Amino acid sequence: MTVEETIEKLNKSKVPIIVIDKKLERFKGQNLFPEKLKRANEILAKTGLPKLTN
């Protein structure tokens, strides 16, 4: 596939192109919202995850 074909395919697709800022790597592995994470884990422990169906 040539570059022109790839660009044309991307332009016709309905999927947005997302560019992730590399500066966000500094937050990798950090817990920025410990209270919310604790609450979410409590809720998941009580209810569990929903069943996935295709």
In tens, the pLDDT along 10-53 reads: 888 888 888 899 999 999 999 899 999 999 999 999 998 888 88
Judge whether 20 lies within some domain.
yes
Judge whether 26 lies within some domain.
yes
Q: How many domains does the chain have?
A: 1
Residues 52, 40: Cα–Cα separation, whole Å:
19
Domain span holding position 11: 3-47
What's the pLDDT at 36? Answer: 95
Judge whether 32 lies within some domain.
yes
Judge whether 54 lies within some domain.
no
Helix (H, G, I), strand (E, B) or coil at 23: helix
Residues in the chain: 54
Tell me the pTM: 0.45
